[in-house]
Amino acid sequence: MTSATSFTPGDRDPNREPLTVRRIGFGAMRLTGTPMSDDRDVASVDRFRSIAVLRRAVELGVNHIDTAAFYISPMRSANELINSALGPYPDDLLIATKVGPGVDPDGKRYTARPDQLRLQVEENLRQLGRDHLDLVYLRRMRQDSIAEDFGALAELREAGLIRHLGVSNARLTHLVEAQRIAPVVAVENRFSLESRLDEDVLHACAEQNIAFVPYFAIAGEGREAGFGARETVREVDEAVAQIAKRHEATPAQVRLAWTLHQGPNVLAIPGTSSLAHLEENVAAGELELSGEDLTQLNSHYSAEQVTEAGGASAPEVSDTRK
Decide: helix, strand or coil at residue 319: coil
Spatial neighbors of 305 by CB under 8 A, at least 6 apart, are 194
**pLDDT band at residue 216 using 50, 70 and 90 as cut-offs:** confident
Q: What is the pLDDT of residues 185-204, one digit of tens each?
A: 999 999 999 888 789 999 99
Average pLDDT over residues 214-240: 61
Q: What's the CA gap between 321 and 222, in Å, rounded? A: 9
Q: What is the pLDDT of residues 30-87, one digit of tens each?
A: 998 754 434 344 445 689 999 999 999 999 999 999 999 999 988 789 999 999 999 9
Q: What is the pLDDT of residue 226?
A: 47
C-beta of residue 49 within 8 angstroms of C-beta of residue 56: no
Decide: helix, strand or coil at residue 96: strand
Q: What is the pLDDT of residues 273-300, one digit of tens each?
A: 999 999 999 999 999 999 999 999 988 7
Q: What is the pLDDT of residues 235-271, one digit of tens each?
A: 458 889 999 999 999 999 999 999 999 999 999 999 9
Fold of 19-235+255-287: TIM Barrel (3.20.20)
Q: What's the CA gap between 96 and 89, in Å, rounded? A: 13
Residue boundaries of the structural domains of the chain: 19-235+255-287
C-beta of residue 240 within 8 angstroms of C-beta of residue 254: yes
C-alpha dihedral, 198 to 199 to 203 to 206, nearest 10°: 70
| 84-92 long-range contacts, CB within 8 A, separation 24+ | 84/51, 85/50, 85/51, 85/54, 85/55, 86/54, 86/55, 86/58, 87/129, 89/130, 90/58, 90/63, 92/20, 92/63
CB contact burial 228-265 (16+ within 10 A = b; e otherwise): ebbbeeeeebebbeebbeebebbbbbbbbbbbbbbeeb
Is the pTM of the predicted complex or chain greater than 0.85?
yes
**Sign (positive/negative) of CA torsion 206, 208, 209, 210?**
negative
Q: What is the pLDDT of residues 12-33, one digit of tens each?
A: 566 777 888 999 999 999 998 7
**Sign (positive/negative) of CA torsion 222, 225, 229, 233?**
negative
C-beta of residue 29 within 8 angstroms of C-beta of residue 219: no
Q: What is the pLDDT of residue 198?
A: 85
Could you tell me which residues are beta bridge partners of residue 21?
7
Catalytic residues: 71
Say whether pLDDT at 303 is over 70.
Answer: no
Q: What is the pLDDT of residue 310?
A: 36
**Sign (positive/negative) of CA torsion 256, 283, 211, 142?**
positive
C-alpha dihedral, 288 to 64 to 263 to 295, nearest 10°: 40
Q: What is the pLDDT of residue 40?
A: 43
Q: What's the CA gap between 272 and 27, in Å, rounded? A: 7
Average pLDDT over residues 91-108: 93
Q: What is the pLDDT of residues 119-157, one digit of tens each?
A: 999 999 999 999 999 999 999 998 999 999 999 999 999
